[in-house]
Structure 1
Amino acid sequence: MKHYNYIFAGAGLSSLMTVYRMAVSGRFSDKSILLLDTDTKQANDRTWCFWQRGVTIWDDIIFRRWETALFASKDFSADLDFEGYEYNMIRGIDFYDFVFTEIKKHKNIEFIHQKVVDFVDLDINVIVKTETESYTCNKLFNSIYNPALAASQKQYPVLQQHFIGWHVKTSTSDFTSDKPTFMDFSIPQRGNTRFMYVLPFNDTEAIVEYTLFSKDLLPIAEYEEVIKQYLSDKGVTEYEIVDKERGSIPMTSYKFWKNNTKNILNIGSAGGWTKASTGYTFKNADKRSRELVHFLQSQNDFTKLCKQNKFWFYDLLLLDILARKNHKGSAMFSAMFKGGNAAPIFKFLDEETTLAEDLAVILKCPKGLFIKALVRRMLNL
């Protein structure tokens, strides 16, 4: 069996971010690194969005930037004040090309198209089995999400951010190119947390997405019927569907890091890197990958990595509410964004706020819901 210092099981966002940072750091040039995935990463299969102040290492591949956005509910609509933040969109294909262009410069990094089927920590090393071969390594990073882990317990709720998006193109100026729709809760909620999300590339082209925060997925036809109706309500009746995007992102405060071993680290959604209360992944993965590469330069026991902090608890309370009263999501998010001042909320969701700033955001929300969730959680913990 061929041996590597590091193996990545799965080459998704978190793995590629981490490998890229390892490569450009110059600190791992003497380490052998293997990426294993069945996907060749040559298709534009998804988009990621994140808000940001200042520069990032991903600036060169940002496809669109916006300095404001629309938030809407059944009672009001507001143009959000970003106060120096930008809302950025990165296309999957641009991210893959960017990362693999760098990887190809490093002979110590390999990418093999094989499906990982099993792995085990033997303490002295890790054995990784694919459908055709086996490998050993000193450290394994696993980004293959196993939904059964979170689903098998009852202590922490498990929801999904699930969606279908249409990339549509019209012959007339039907979109406002400099103003995406961040969340539009004016659509029927039907007992859930449901909103529309619109990312305009220009005046005639946009991604129009129907998103839910709930436990159960819908039939594909139901998502698409709502998108069709939403476009019609906006006066958009003649359009070409250029592409479609579909996804389901786990939203849970389940302690994924409890499954880490000394030599196996779960990363990405498999490691709880997704922001539990929103389903946003890119910014969180960017932070975690940076922290991980720094950790690797001085430590080697993965059981010492833990994500539990005050923000983990805030996310847990919100998910407790949504799990019990899923229809209240619109009211909670509408209360947070009603004043139009988005910057404090972005900072809070990025987990960069002080306790006083935390309270300023939390107190915008319906207090009764959070007090009841807090009491229930304190009695159960």
Structure 2
Amino acid sequence: MVGPVTPGPVGTPDVVIVGGGAAGLSLAYRLVETGVATVTVVEPPEGPARPAERTWCYWDQGDGEFAEAVTASWSLLRVHGPDGHPLTVDPAPSRYRMVRSAAFERLVHARLARSPGGRLLRATADTVREVPTGAEVRCTAPGGRTLTLRSRYVFDSRPLPALPPARTQLLQHFRGWFVRTRTDRFDPAVADLMDFRVPQPRHGLAFGYVLPLAPDRALVEYTEFSRTPLTTAAYEAALGHYAHGVLRLGEFRVETAEQGVIPMTDARFPRRAGAAVFRIGTAGGATRPATGYTFAAVQRHSRAIAAALHGGRAAVPAPHGRRALAMDAVLLRALDTGRIDGPAFFTGLFRRTPAQRLLRFLDGATSVREEWGIGLRTPVGPMLRTALEVPFLPRRTHPAPGTGENPR
């Protein structure tokens, strides 16, 4: 339950947000923009505790409220089927956008600095616990000084030490190169979301992912949906094959690289750790199980939290609806068991579903009628068999996905 924010002692924020990733910064931005609450964001100081720069992608209409932080955007989306044939779709009025974490941090940090109710604290959060007046966060500042922050609410975006039990758990794991080619090789208007012209693993699926930044620059990634990540050497080999053997980029140089692991699980993520302590981001279930996309869900969830704090409504809603999570659980199980062919399944979705409707489906914003129509365009027999099986499967603990989570 979230009640109306009431002022605390002078200097005491209404809300403390632990973690300055996509979820923490998005919520801070929303709260200071709306003036709903005073906010302190606790971020690790510069050093090994701070994550490497990350890439977040989402689709949106119009100019978008984070235009200052958008590195690039694309008006067309393309999928290469396993037969090699390309399928290009126009998702208008939406555009696919890329935000780099450093640019997003600068945007939100500047907004916090301009707001009388916003504050950024560089410190390592050690413990979060409830107290009679709300919650407190104990931190260690640079130099070893101990700080205690008290607030009405705490929103914690730190990764969970272990994922909750699940019926199915896959990982979306990837490595990407930011490349610069010697000659123009990319169409800056088209983003390749899934390119299945890569060797498929024995279990799961693999695809290439290309986001052009200029005719001679792009983010080129190799991605797998499977149970275990690869070694860096294996990713490098797969990327080399994709860049040279499939894309035929010719001579290029790698300017920087990124690597990540995203859980794809039907686990039930607890959205709170106490009456005044809430979990947000991947730790709060914001990552869409069947796609790994998180950034757009984080924006919706941040708006819902701000509205709840403002209006004192009974509860903050889940990041994703029950129908969407149920459909994702079926898809994950069907992929994990091999009952459906992953590359053919995803290529078919793009081929048979209008682009804007498909994006709304991936965002969990479609009606039951629309979802029924999309479902009839999938392998009905295997999906129906899986749907009947899933409710009776036990939830069990799976191995931790490792480090380097980088939600899209």
What is the TM-score of this pair, normalised by structure 1?
0.91
User: What runs of 5+ residues in structure 2 fail to find an aligned partner?
Assistant: 1-8, 141-145, 395-408
| Structure 2 partner of 1:121 | 130
Question: The residue matched to 1:119 in structure 2 has which SS?
Answer: strand
Question: The residue matched to 2:224 in structure 1 has which SS?
Answer: strand
| Structure 1 partner of 2:108 | 99
| Structure 1 partner of 2:56 | 48
Do structure 1's residue 144 and structure 2's residue 158 form an aligned pair? yes
What is the CA–CA distance in structure 1 between the aligned matches of 2:349 and 2:362, rounded to whole Å?
A: 12
User: What runs of 5+ residues in structure 1 fail to find an aligned partner?
Assistant: none
What is the CA–CA distance in structure 2 between the aligned matches of 1:103 and 1:286, rounded to whole Å?
A: 17
| Structure 2 partner of 1:227 | 239
Residue among 18, 29, 33 paired with 2:27: 18
Which letter maps to 1:88? Answer: R
Do structure 1's residue 367 and structure 2's residue 364 form an aligned pair? no
Do structure 1's residue 377 and structure 2's residue 393 form an aligned pair? no
Question: The residue matched to 2:53 in structure 1 has which SS?
Answer: coil
What is the CA–CA distance in structure 2 between the aligned matches of 1:300 and 1:11, rounded to whole Å?
A: 26
Question: The residue matched to 1:212 in structure 2 has which SS?
Answer: strand
Displacement of 1:57 in angstroms is 1.4
RMSD of equivalent CA atoms: 2.4
Displacement of 1:92 in angstroms is 1.9
What is the CA–CA distance in structure 1 between the aligned matches of 2:161 and 2:350, rounded to whole Å?
A: 32
What is the CA–CA distance in structure 2 between the aligned matches of 1:222 and 1:44, rounded to whole Å?
A: 21
| Structure 1 partner of 2:296 | 283
Deviation string for 1:189-242 (max 9, x for gaps)? 112211100011111111100111222110011111111111112222311111
User: Is this contact kept in 1: 2:167–2:393, CA < 8 A?
Assistant: no
Deviation string for 1:144-175 (max 9, x for gaps)? 0114142xx2x432222211100000120122
User: Is this contact kept in 2: 1:7–1:35, CA < 8 A?
Assistant: yes
Evaluate the alpha carbon distance shift between residue 271 and residue 105 of structure 1 in structure 2; reply closer, same or farther with a 3 A threshold.
same
Residue among 26, 33, 37 paired with 2:43: 37
Which letter maps to 1:228? Answer: G
User: Is this contact kept in 2: 1:81–1:340, CA < 8 A?
Assistant: no
Which letter maps to 1:195? Answer: F
| Structure 2 partner of 1:358 | 371
What is the CA–CA distance in structure 1 between the aligned matches of 2:98 and 2:283, rounded to whole Å?
A: 23
The correspondence of residues 149-168 of structure 1 with structure 2, limited to 5 A, is 149-150=163-164, 153=165, 155-168=166-179
Question: The residue matched to 2:16 in structure 1 has which SS?
Answer: strand
Displacement of 1:274 in angstroms is 1.3
Question: The residue matched to 1:7 in structure 2 has which SS?
Answer: strand
Question: The residue matched to 1:79 in structure 2 has which SS?
Answer: strand
What is the CA–CA distance in structure 2 between the aligned matches of 1:46 and 1:380, rounded to whole Å?
A: 35
Question: The residue matched to 2:287 in structure 1 has which SS?
Answer: coil
Evaluate the alpha carbon distance shift between residue 149 and residue 48 of structure 1 in structure 2; reply closer, same or farther with a 3 A threshold.
closer
Question: The residue matched to 1:333 in structure 2 has which SS?
Answer: helix
> Which piece of structure 1 moves more, 172-181 or 339-348?
339-348
What is the CA–CA distance in structure 2 between the aligned matches of 1:189 and 1:326, rounded to whole Å?
A: 15
> Which piece of structure 1 moves more, 270-279 or 45-54?
45-54
Do structure 1's residue 331 and structure 2's residue 344 form an aligned pair? yes
Displacement of 1:271 in angstroms is 0.4
What is the CA–CA distance in structure 1 between the aligned matches of 2:157 and 2:346, rounded to whole Å?
A: 30
Evaluate the alpha carbon distance shift between residue 160 and residue 326 of structure 1 in structure 2; reply closer, same or farther with a 3 A threshold.
farther
Deviation string for 1:259-288 (max 9, x for gaps)? 442211100001011111100111111111
Evaluate the alpha carbon distance shift between residue 225 and residue 100 of structure 1 in structure 2; reply closer, same or farther with a 3 A threshold.
same
Evaluate the alpha carbon distance shift between residue 162 and residue 207 of structure 1 in structure 2; reply closer, same or farther with a 3 A threshold.
same
Question: The residue matched to 1:156 in structure 2 has which SS?
Answer: coil
Displacement of 1:338 in angstroms is 2.5
What is the CA–CA distance in structure 2 between the aligned matches of 1:238 and 1:177, rounded to whole Å?
A: 19
| Structure 1 partner of 2:149 | 135
> Which piece of structure 1 moves more, 330-339 or 260-269?
330-339
Aligned length: 374
| Structure 1 partner of 2:185 | 174
Evaluate the alpha carbon distance shift between residue 69 and residue 194 of structure 1 in structure 2; reply closer, same or farther with a 3 A threshold.
same
Which letter maps to 2:233? Answer: A
Which letter maps to 1:37? Answer: E
What is the CA–CA distance in structure 2 between the aligned matches of 1:258 and 1:110, rounded to whole Å?
A: 24
| Structure 2 partner of 1:69 | 77
User: Is this contact kept in 1: 2:339–2:382, CA < 8 A?
Assistant: no
User: Is this contact kept in 1: 2:75–2:91, CA < 8 A?
Assistant: yes
| Structure 1 partner of 2:6 | none
What is the CA–CA distance in structure 2 between the aligned matches of 1:165 and 1:326, rounded to whole Å?
A: 29
Which letter maps to 2:210? Answer: V
Evaluate the alpha carbon distance shift between residue 253 and residue 367 of structure 1 in structure 2; reply closer, same or farther with a 3 A threshold.
same
Displacement of 1:26 in angstroms is 2.4
Residue among 219, 241, 246 paired with 2:259: 246
